[in-house]
């Protein structure tokens, strides 16, 4: 046993649990690929200034949770705490927006935040994300919301809710901001929260502390202060979701933990992970982020779905998680000559599209068959000296125990037929 262990707040993804993660990740990415989203991959770390500018100086992510350090060359860099800023930076840098808009991108990877350790909240976590860059269209917001809902329903989840809000735009939000700040100045808040209220008062609405939430009774709501354009935009998003059969709950206090959101903002929440509503996916529209990063006007929308949290939600509901690709055959050689013959056959099967594994090491028949059972394969291929002499091989269906003999010349086509 190693004397080293994983860092606090992190986890190792190991078999057999890793198969569930792969199954969930595939369930999240397949609908995006089918909807015209292309894959993008960005570095694990970026310039610290990117996240300070993009995520927001007043957010908990920037002030408390980022893993930032200075490289040997003197560069200030940060492990990515979220994906949107990096994707937008990459798209602007490569000028992906020069052609037809929107540019639709998806990504998958690990992200890092120094948070208090608890179930469903780790310091490194896995997400699948999608970003649609360059179009101000409520149908695009609805598309991503519908895809997210389809993903969770397709996985078999039933005990989740979609929370929906609008945060307005540069026209109506400043007026609301002043109203909200005036209200917050009359509350009994600690010094740090007062400072936050002056920088970005919306952040206070997202404060989870009971002492703060208790004082927010009667707080002005953005939903009551939207301009006509934002109200019409939001109503169209709601209409499209309703027409698609997507259930949602209006949440006028939903602001999310990042500063770049405008208009449509949303969370998919599940109560079975920690006993209280926990976000398993979230996102929104961020029409001004490109300008914040020095780019052109580029209205955009996106979301990120938590892979590890979705797996926990599935377990909480007692749902069986899709395990990904299944092994088709496991080869069990009995003797040195059989090892040589079966090893060649396994290579041939793999090249013909059959998922195959091999009984490595010197195992007896009992131990080798136990290994075959543990592998999860559908069939075992058993070969001994007598079989070689008769030019046959034994195929055993592991679920039923049924066994038959097949000639070597027919073995590949026989297995392929069985797998159909």
Q: Is 256 annotated as a binding residue?
A: yes
Question: For 327-342, what is the mean pLDDT?
Answer: 92
Q: Is 203 annotated as a binding residue?
A: no
What is the per-residue pLDDT for 322? 62
- List all residues 6 or more positions away from 336 whose beta carbon is below 8 Å from its beta carbon: none
What is the per-residue pLDDT for 257? 63
- How far apart, in whole angstroms, are the C-alpha atoms of residue 161 and residue 269? 5
Residue 367 confidence class, pLDDT cut points 50, 70, 90: confident
Structure tokens at 103: 């540019």
The CB density around residue 306, as the number of other CB atoms within 10 Å, is 27
- How far apart, in whole angstroms, are the C-alpha atoms of residue 93 and residue 197? 34
Q: Is 215 annotated as a binding residue?
A: no
Q: Is 83 annotated as a binding residue?
A: yes
Residue 142 in this model has a pLDDT that exceeds 90:
yes
Task: For the chain, list the domains and their CATH numbers.
Answer: 17-172+226-316 (3.30.930.10), 329-419 (3.40.50.800)
Q: Determine the number of helices (DSSP H) and then strands (DSSP E) in the chain.
A: 16, 16
Q: Is 113 annotated as a binding residue?
A: yes
**3-class secondary-structure state, position 252:** coil
Could you please report the per-residue DSSP string of 260-273? Answer: T-EEEEEEEEESTT
Question: For 265-289, what is the mean pLDDT?
Answer: 92
Q: Is 286 annotated as a binding residue?
A: no
Q: Is 82 annotated as a binding residue?
A: yes
């Amino acid at each position: 046993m190693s004397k080293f262990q994983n860092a606090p707040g992190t986890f190792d993804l190991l078999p057999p649990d890793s198969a569930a993660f792969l199954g969930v990740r595939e369930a999240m990415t397949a609908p995006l690929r089918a909807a015209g989203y292309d894959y993008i991959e960005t570095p694990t770390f970026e310039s610290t200034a990117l996240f300070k500018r993009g995520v927001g100086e007043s957010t908990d992510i920037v002030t408390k949770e980022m893993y930032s350090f200075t490289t040997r060359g003197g560069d200030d860099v940060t492990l990515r705490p979220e994906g949107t800023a990096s994707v937008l930076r990459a798209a602007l840098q490569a000028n992906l927006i020069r052609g037809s808009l929107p540019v639709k991108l998806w990504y998958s990877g690990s992200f890092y935040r120094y948070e208090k350790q608890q179930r469903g909240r780790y310091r490194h976590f896995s997400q699948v994300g999608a970003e649609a860059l360059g179009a101000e269209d409520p149908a695009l917001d609805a598309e991503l919301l519908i895809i997210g809902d389809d993903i969770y329903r397709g996985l078999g989840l039933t005990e989740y809710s979609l929370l929906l809000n609008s945060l307005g735009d540069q026209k109506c939000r400043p007026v609301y901001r002043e109203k909200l700040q005036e209200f917050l100045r009359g509350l009994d808040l600690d010094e740090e929260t007062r400072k936050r209220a002056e920088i970005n008062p919306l952040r206070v609405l997202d404060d989870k502390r009971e002492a703060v939430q208790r004082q927010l009774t009667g707080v002005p709501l953005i939903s009551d202060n939207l301009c006509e354009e934002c109200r019409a935009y939001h109503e169209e998003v709601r209409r499209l979701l309703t027409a698609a059969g997507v259930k949602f709950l209006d949440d006028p206090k939903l602001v999310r933990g990042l500063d770049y959101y405008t208009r449509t903002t949303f969370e998919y929440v599940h109560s079975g992970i920690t006993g209280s509503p926990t976000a398993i996916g979230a996102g929104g529209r961020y029409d001004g982020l490109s300008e914040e990063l020095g780019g052109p006007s580029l209205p955009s929308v996106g979301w990120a779905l938590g892979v590890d949290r979705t797996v926990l939600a599935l377990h909480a509901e007692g749902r069986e998680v899709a395990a990904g690709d299944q092994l088709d055959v496991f080869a069990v050689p009995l003797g040195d000559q059989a090892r040589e013959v079966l090893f060649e056959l396994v290579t041939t099967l793999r090249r013909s599209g059959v998922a195959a594994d091999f009984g490595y090491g010197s195992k007896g028949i009992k131990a080798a068959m136990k290994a075959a059972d543990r592998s999860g394969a559908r069939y075992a291929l058993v070969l001994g000296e007598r079989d070689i002499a008769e030019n046959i091989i034994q195929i055993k269906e592991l679920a039923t125990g049924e066994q038959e003999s097949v000639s070597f010349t027919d073995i590949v086509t026989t297995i392929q037929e069985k797998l159909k």
